[in-house]
Amino acid sequence: MPLPASRDITLIGAGLVGALLATLLAQRGFRVTVFERRPDPRVHGFLGGRSINLALAERGWHGLRVAGLTDAIAPIAVMMRGRRIHDAAGNTQLQRYGRDDSEVIWSVSRGQLNCTLLTAAQKAGATIHFGQRLEQIDWTGSRLQLHDDRDGCVRWHDAGVLLGTDGAGSALRQAMQATTDLGERLDSLGHGYKELEIPPLQQLPDAALTPALREAKARGEGFAMDPNALHIWPRGNYMCIALPNAEGSFTVTLFLPGTPINDGPAFSTLDTREAVQAFFARDFADAVPLMPDYLDDFTRNPTGLLATLYLERWHLDGRALLLGDAAHAIVPFHGQGMNCGFEDAVELADLLATDRGDTADVFAEFQRRRKPNSDAIAAMALDNYVEMRDRVDDPEYLLMRELERVLAARHPQRYLPRYSIVTFTRLPYAFARTRGEQQAQLLRELVRGKASLGEIDLAAADAAVAALAPLPAH
Ligand code: FAD
Ligand code: 8R5
């Protein structure tokens, strides 16, 4: 029996969110067609072969679980149990993210994750057309124009119900904007990023290694640093981070202002190899010997831009809806862009599958539920940049973290650090943000003028926590 027309859905973009959503919708009996600009990464490789990884947290795992994919991803995920902070002298220290190894985040290869999701979508029945770029939409005729990268031809297709999962630079968003004002605002952060690489230990020349690392290499060890951490080199207005890849390398990212702040380093002034070299030698001396190609990487790799995208409207009645980065691109500092997008996909698939009414109502309901949450994670991601680059080695901040652990242990029903709510639960981001503000206020008052945990009035702390509403079940 043919499916009714409303069961036909067209997705633009088969990135992380599009491929997961295609899987979820196909599994729920929708007829799903996806148009993806790039060639099939399972045939042609990914991003020129560079290893780029992402941090996967509970919200992201949940999306994979609903799609039945945890068993496919778990074997390629590397556990990160905390931040490993590298000070200027090269000493490191681990700050755990959670109570124990049940509260950790995971580093996953973007390419492998995307390939697994594409295969799952096709297995569930979705049709994916690669090398097909959305160019424009004829809204009156309900047709979309695609450019076929393989033969260079331009063709028109019936549009039907459109879902935009085509990322931060969304072509569908642009086409929607051409007919209706979506209330778009792009807030540029003024900082950019550059990706570098620490190769597997076995590929590093002995001459560059410390005696301890030379021994580790001789023992056959795979990683040049602690593999089970998210490494951070906090330096005030800028920082480096590194996430482990399963094969032994690390992807290092430098986050830096575009132009100087108080005469500090910036992308605009790192314009010669000598300037880059002097900067790294001064600020990231312990990482330099582990990155034999960093000068070439720095010159060759593009500088990424960082911005937050806000839209007042995500849909054109029942014809088109944006989700994932296309609707709400955020800065990366909470590692939640994909995690949030996966939450979008699960929510939308549920709404579409249970709804018997008008698609426009479903889209409006989706926006009503998700927008407060994407606004909240956008704000918390901005906060976390300051925390990562400037606060993680500050004594007052460390005392607040220490107190937070004590309070969470004493009052598990009432105190949960904001980082934990965001990362280890699926409580709404908007809840994490308001609760986080209340808790931060409480911590600030308790640590004011105090130098150590012993000086803090725990009875007063207990009373303050008791005044918070109990946490929802999670
Ligand atoms: P994308 O994954 O960008 O996918 C969009 C897809 O649409 C692409 O396949 C693209 O080719 C396709 N497309 C674009 N235009 C067209 C067109 N005109 N026609 C057809 N197809 C088109 N998030 C985390 O949660 N944790 C992390 O640790 C993390 N790290 C990140 C590291 C980096 C370097 C970057 C850049 C982002 C990171 N993010 C992370 C954010 C995360 O990558 C995004 O939030 C997530 O990929 C969004 O998924 P998406 O499907 O909406 O967009
Ligand atoms: N995205 C991340 C965190 C929080 C870590 C913490 C931070 C690189 C472009 Cl910057 C960043 C986090 O608070 O200790 N979890 O996961 C991922 C991050 O950056 C990713 C890799 C990134 C965009 C470049």
Q: Mean of the pLDDT values across residues 116-132?
A: 98
- Whole-structure pTM value: 0.97
Count of CB atoms within 10 A of residue 470's CB?
9
Residue 20 CB less than 6 A away from ligand 2: no
Q: Can you give the pLDDT at residue 5?
A: 43
- How many whole angstroms from 167 Cα to the centroid of ligand 1? 5
Instruction: Give the integer Cα–Cα distance in Å for 393 and 16.
Output: 34
Q: Which helix (H) or strand (E) segment is 128 a member of?
A: strand 127-129
Which residues, 6 or more positions from 160, have their beta carbon under 8 angstroms from its beta carbon? 5, 8, 9, 10, 142
Residue having the nearest C-alpha atom to atom 18 of ligand 2: 335
Residue having the nearest C-alpha atom to atom 34 of ligand 1: 52
Ligand 2 atom at minimal distance to the Cα of residue 241: 10
Q: Which one of the ligands is nearest to 419 CA?
A: 2
pLDDT in tens, 13-62: 999 999 999 999 999 999 999 999 999 999 988 765 677 999 999 999 99
pLDDT in tens, 268-308: 999 999 999 999 999 999 999 999 999 999 999 999 999 99
Tell me: pLDDT of 404 over 60: yes
Residue 82 CB less than 6 A away from ligand 1: no
Ligand 2 atom at minimal distance to the Cα of residue 95: 14
Residue having the nearest C-alpha atom to atom 46 of ligand 1: 338
Q: Can you give the pLDDT at residue 221?
A: 98
Confidence of residue 357 (pLDDT cuts 50, 70, 90): confident
Q: Can you give the pLDDT at residue 438?
A: 98
- How many whole angstroms from 178 Cα to the centroid of ligand 1? 23
The DSSP result for 251-314, as a single string, is EEEEEEESS-STT---TTT--SHHHHHHHHHHH-TTTGGG-TTHHHHHHHSPPEEEEEEE-S--
Confidence of residue 6 (pLDDT cuts 50, 70, 90): low
Across 36-45, 47-56, 79-88, 243-252, least confident range: 47-56
Confidence of residue 1 (pLDDT cuts 50, 70, 90): very low
**Bigger pLDDT: 63 or 2?**
63
What percent of the chain clears pLDDT 90, i.e. is strictly above it? Answer: 94
Q: Mean of the pLDDT values across residues 439-443?
A: 97
Q: Which one of the ligands is nearest to 98 CA?
A: 2
Ligand 2 atom at minimal distance to the Cα of residue 385: 10
| Secondary structure E strands in 320-364 | 320-322
Ligand 1 atom at minimal distance to the Cα of residue 338: 25
Residue having the nearest C-alpha atom to atom 10 of ligand 2: 333
pLDDT in tens, 139-165: 999 999 999 998 999 999 999 899 999
Q: Can you give the pLDDT at residue 189?
A: 97
Residues 122, 125, 130, CA angle at the centre, nearest 5°? Answer: 45
Mutate to test the pocket of ligand 2, among 16, 253, 303 (most ligand atoms within 8 A of CB): 253
Q: Can you give the pLDDT at residue 383?
A: 95
Q: Mean of the pLDDT values across residues 426-437?
A: 98
Phi and psi, residue 4, nearest 5°:
-65, 160
pLDDT in tens, 319-346: 999 999 999 999 999 999 999 999 999 9
Mutate to test the pocket of ligand 1, among 44, 116, 166 (most ligand atoms within 8 A of CB): 166
Tell me: pLDDT of 3 over 70: no
Tell me: pLDDT of 260 over 90: yes
Residue 173 CB less than 6 A away from ligand 1: no
- How many whole angstroms from 78 Cα to the centroid of ligand 2? 15
Residue having the nearest C-alpha atom to atom 12 of ligand 1: 13
Going from the C-alpha of 270 to that of each of 73, 192, 194, 294, the distances in angstroms are 38, 13, 12, 13
Residues 32, 35, 39, CA angle at the centre, nearest 5°? Answer: 130
Residue 388 CB less than 6 A away from ligand 2: yes
Which residues, 6 or more positions from 39, have their beta carbon under 8 angstroms from its beta carbon? 130, 131, 149
Residue 230 CB less than 6 A away from ligand 2: yes
pLDDT in tens, 380-396: 999 999 999 999 889 99
Residue 17 CB less than 6 A away from ligand 1: yes
Tell me: pLDDT of 369 over 70: yes
Q: Can you give the pLDDT at residue 470?
A: 97
Identity of the amino acid at 195: E
Which residues, 6 or more positions from 179, have their beta carbon under 8 angstroms from its beta carbon? 139, 316
Instruction: Give the integer Cα–Cα distance in Å for 244 and 257.
Output: 25
Instruction: Give the integer Cα–Cα distance in Å for 425 and 57.
Output: 9
Mutate to test the pocket of ligand 2, among 79, 235, 241, 401 (most ligand atoms within 8 A of CB): 241
Residue 193 CB less than 6 A away from ligand 2: yes
Confidence of residue 356 (pLDDT cuts 50, 70, 90): confident
